[in-house]
Amino acid sequence: MRRILAIATIVVLLTLSCTKEQRKSMITKQETNIESFAKNILSKVDTAYVVQHRGVTRVVVVPGHGDSLETGGLVSFYYAGYVLNSSSVSESNLFATNSEEVAETSKWQISGENQFEILTLNIGNDDLVDGLRYGLEGVRAGQECYILFSGEYGFGKKPLGTIPANAALAYHVWVESIANE
């Protein structure tokens, strides 16, 4: 009986270590895709720059103006969220948007009056996914940016709608305003 228990324990430990190694490999590949995505934007937009914050990459395309958003502040913005499977985003990987223009370009079914309203969030809110929270810290009113993060900062181990488990995500964000409290 002890021998069976010992073998079962070894099998479980080997399975866990393989899973950890697979996850580490997946995150490394996602981070490589994020880096390639950022380099691609930097090569196309002369004024673009990258901000790294707590494991999240923000590629600023339009710098914005005024104060930077602080932890616990409010931000109002439009966005398009994509699953980042490679070093680029495409309409086929769009999972959410509140931008009517993005929805129309992506040929999304448009229904309901409120789906294209500006989103206002307190970035101190615990319900906000870490990658988006960390990426929004420091944005300015008028800023256009991409917030990119690996599955480590996303929705976790369970799939959510069309978002696979542990997916790397890219948010294209158009900041309208910020308010620090």
Predicted pLDDT at 112: 66
Assess whether pLDDT exceeds 80 at residue 47.
Answer: yes
d(CA 15, CA 19): 6
Q: 53: which 2 tokens?
A: 């914050």
Instruction: Provide the mean pLDDT of the chain.
Output: 87
Per-residue confidence (pLDDT) for residue 13, from 0 to 100: 40
**pLDDT over 90 for what percent of the chain?**
64
What pLDDT band is residue 106 in, cutting at 50, 70 and 90?
A: confident
pLDDT at site 7: 53
What would the mean pLDDT of 72-93 be, rounded to a whole number?
A: 92
Q: What dihedral do alpha carbons 107, 113, 118, 124 form, nearest 10°?
A: -110
State which amino acid sits at residue 53. H
Say whether pLDDT at 15 is over 70: no
| 2 has pLDDT over 80 | no
Q: Given this model, what pLDDT does residue 58 score?
A: 98
Of 146 and 128, the structure prediction assigns the larger pLDDT to 146
Q: What is the pLDDT, as a whole number, of residue 4?
A: 59
